Amino acid sequence: MKELHKLAFDENNQSIIDEVIKNIRDLKVKTKKNEINCFLSKEGDSFDSYIEIHAGAGGTESQDWAEMLRKMYLKWSVNKGYKSQLISEHKGDEAGIKSSTIKIEGDYIFGWLKAESGIHRLVRISPFDSGARRHTSFASVWVYPVVDENIEIEINEKDLRIDTYRSSGAGGQHVNTTDSAVRITHIPTKIVVQCQNERSQHKNKDTCMNMLRARLYDFEIKKREKDTKNVESSKSEIGWGHQIRSYVLHPYQLVKDNRTKYENSNPNKVLDGEIDDFLESSLYNTK
């Protein structure tokens, strides 16, 4: 293309020059995509993913922030053409959600999203404050791979505590009038999973077991890699000093990742699902 561009330039052939420039741009896009794929080669990167979101302390304000994050990931999924499914959700007392688990299916979802695990911080003028004061809210995001059926995860029944309860989320009378929701606790690791989106208790239990397999797989991977970060203990501290990303809507507009230092001055677009630049930045910084 370099030689062709030189010849076209010497002959003042603008159509060939334009074609060469287009081909160079296409090559840059393909090269970037191939480069990113090189970073998606770790164990589990190709799997689908569960995303678990929990509101931090702060009541309605943090619960609303947790719902905003859930919508952000669902919009990202729609923008990319991926499939998503709501697994479990507990509504907030007045607005928002206390917790939510969603599943996203597509190419290399876990590889793309795994660096999203951590505490996300929001600074804004609260819509729930009659005095229009600025509030800081926190919510946690935890990302786990959906384990391939070919991977064997040994789970002993004696290590499980299985509870059933009445669904507290939306779904109508057919969901809320029976104890169809299921919560499973893996006693040795203290991992808890729950599902309430199906009418059938049996289906919810199957989904819970799949989620537990995913969590145990993720647990073992981190153990093998000698991960220095204790994920379970950090979950109890959804607050200052632990955030991985800050979303500031007031007094200025900025989303900043505290690990990669990547910034975006349009938080509305970020919250509308345009998070690819943050995901790519995380890939480059965790290689």
What b/e readout covers 256-274, taking b as 16+ CB neighbours within 10 angstroms? bbeebebebeebeebbebb
Closest CA to 103 of 216, 211, 194, 222: 211
The CATH number assigned to the domain with range 157-224 reads 3.30.160.20
Per domain, the residue ranges of the chain are: 2-38, 49-150+229-285, 157-224
- Predicted pLDDT at 51: 96
Phi then psi for residue 109, to 5 deg, are -65, -45
Helix, strand, coil distribution of the chain in percent, nearest 5? 40, 25, 35
Fold classification of 49-150+229-285 is: Alpha-Beta Plaits (3.30.70)
The number of C-alpha atoms within 13 Å of 264 and in the hemisphere containing its C-beta is 20
Q: Which amino acid is at 156?
A: N
Residues linked to residue 160 through DSSP beta bridges, in sequence order: 186
Which bin fits 81, alpha (ψ -120 to 50), beta or left (φ > 0)? left
pTM, entire model: 0.76
Lateral strand order in the sheet of 83-91: 83-91, 97-105, 49-55, 134-145, 118-125, 243-248, 254-257, 263-264
- Predicted pLDDT at 171: 46
Contacts with 175 (C-beta within 8 Å, 6 or more apart), sequence order: 167, 169, 196, 199
Q: Which amino acid is at 72?
A: M
Name residue, tokens 């919250």. Answer: 271
pLDDT 10s per residue in the chain (287 long)? 989 999 999 999 999 999 999 999 999 989 987 888 888 888 789 999 999 999 998 889 999 999 999 999 999 999 999 999 999 999 998 899 999 999 999 999 999 999 999 999 999 998 988 888 899 999 999 999 998 766 778 889 999 999 998 876 544 444 445 678 999 999 999 999 999 888 888 899 999 999 998 999 888 877 766 544 455 554 545 655 579 999 999 999 999 999 999 999 999 999 999 999 999 999 888 65
> What distance in Å separates the CA atoms of residue 186 and residue 209, rounded to the nearest whole number?
10
